[in-house]
Structure 1
Amino acid sequence: MTRRPTLLAAITLTAAAALSLSACGNDDSSGKNDKIAGADTSEEASASPTPSTSTAVSDRPKITLPSDLTLDFEDTKTGDAVKDAVLSDNAERMRAVDAAITGTDPKGEAIGYYNTGKALDAALAWVAEFKDAGATMTGSARYYDREVTLKGKTSAGLTFCADEGKGFSKDKKTGKVSRTPVTKNSYVFYNTRLDKNPDGVWQTSQIISTRGAAQCQP
């Protein structure tokens, strides 16, 4: 069985000095963007996850999101079973991060199941940033142009775009939603690496995001 960290201890650490809710990959010089970025980059975080035992593929963690948050994944079927598995586990990875942020997976069990290495560090840091700011997510995000490149039996590259124009951060105490207009920074390009662990799970090991990427804009 593989080992996975839990989020409970890690989210209590400060993940960033600034509490702007912008993605690490945001190229906006102002450093402020209240869109959902549902994600993060592969930069190493200061969080120190605590390892625990993983569950088997047949007993995957159940991920649920609050009723006011919707993630839509396109291009889910390629006709290739391996590529489809990569796409499916990537989608679960993105949902796992948002579930931890929104509180439907407070221990972050799914984060440790679908992430490893630098991607895990970044995911924990992203969740901690929301926690420290007393914020959560609402709205919707769409993921599209998802393309898988197999690099052997246990490694794959995956690039995709995200439209976060209808996703926002929300204050947990007041419920106030930080609505911002759609701009080029509402579109994000992701370049990721996934590695298949001994349990057969395609874990994201590296993830880099580029906000405002031209190839993702309509």
Structure 2
Amino acid sequence: MPSTPRARVWITAGLLSLALCGCSSLTGGTNGGTGGSAGGDNGGSSTTSSAADGPEVPATSLDLERVCTDGLGYSGMPAYDRTKKTVHPAMLMNNPGDTWSQFEPPAGDFPKDWILGYSDKPADAELVVCVERTKASPTGKKCDMESDDGKPFTVSTYNTSYRLKVVEARTGEELYKHTGEAKSDECPMYIFSSEGEDKDKYYNEVRPKDYRKRVQPFIAP
């Protein structure tokens, strides 16, 4: 996995390539776009402490997949008490298809200390915010793009549906759930793609600013 995330896009495994918009689309529209592809994690294979070592904690962010998918928490993680009027740090996990990974939003997307970063310990999280793409629908729009080596190509854009959950990291209890859609009728200014990824498709994804107020009552009551 790349060690340094790129701003406002998800990063996946493999070699990244940058594609710039030709500032026009085959069906109209210019700059913009609200989505990207997925990625980012704390890297490596995941292991957790055994019962003999003490309470169970996640060794990497990848271990938090089970919190999002099965509601299985980690007994060694900090207890969550919403009555305490303080920041309750959260780990943000994203699944744009079939793989969960950590996402660290760019500076300014969330207030400081709300979301743990790649360099933080997953075991310090009181909450896990899970964002999962559940559906993709073609918009019918095709956009002219240009790769970093100057070669033109075309991308088809997709609107997406997503599921947002706030889960207590220690118990796996679901505290909040919301479903929504991410739509746009504009072409992206740029996209990032990884080796082996279909770069002819661009998905409009939910952005941090779209769900800040939804998670605030739990992270910063």
Q: Which structure has more helix as a fraction of its residues? A: 1
How high is the TM-score relative to the length of structure 2? 0.31
Structure showing greater Rg:
2
How high is the TM-score relative to the length of structure 1? 0.31
